[in-house]
Amino acid sequence: YTGPFLDGDTANDWQVEVAERLARSFAAGCASLGAAALHEQAPAEARRWFERILQHDPEDVRAKQGIAAATAQQIAAASDRPT
């Protein structure tokens, strides 16, 4: 799923509340999967999960930190390879 949660007429307060809760749950799930990928030394996969968060919330600090950690992991892995 790539669109906003409960997109459309949000005149009802319950829709806004549910959409915000769904967005938080989505971000938390993606962050957990990204963290698990980092733990498994899979920085490319981790980056994809953190980028999914940023598609919905470009200001999410947790996702930006996750991407930074994935990049650092990729750099470390590249520097450990024999030339």
Q: Say what the pTM is.
A: 0.81
How far is Cα of residue 77 from the mean position of the Cα atoms in its chain? 22
Cα 20 to Cα 3, 17, 33, 38, 58: the distances in Å are 13, 5, 20, 27, 15
Instruction: Report the 10 Å Cβ neighbour count for 66.
Output: 25
For residue 83, name the pLDDT band (cuts at 50, 70, 90). Answer: low
Check if the beta carbon of residue 57 is closer than 8 Å to that of residue 27.
Answer: yes
pLDDT tens per residue across span 23-80: 999 999 999 999 999 999 999 999 999 999 999 899 999 999 999 999 999 999 999 8
Check if the beta carbon of residue 56 is closer than 8 Å to that of residue 27.
Answer: yes
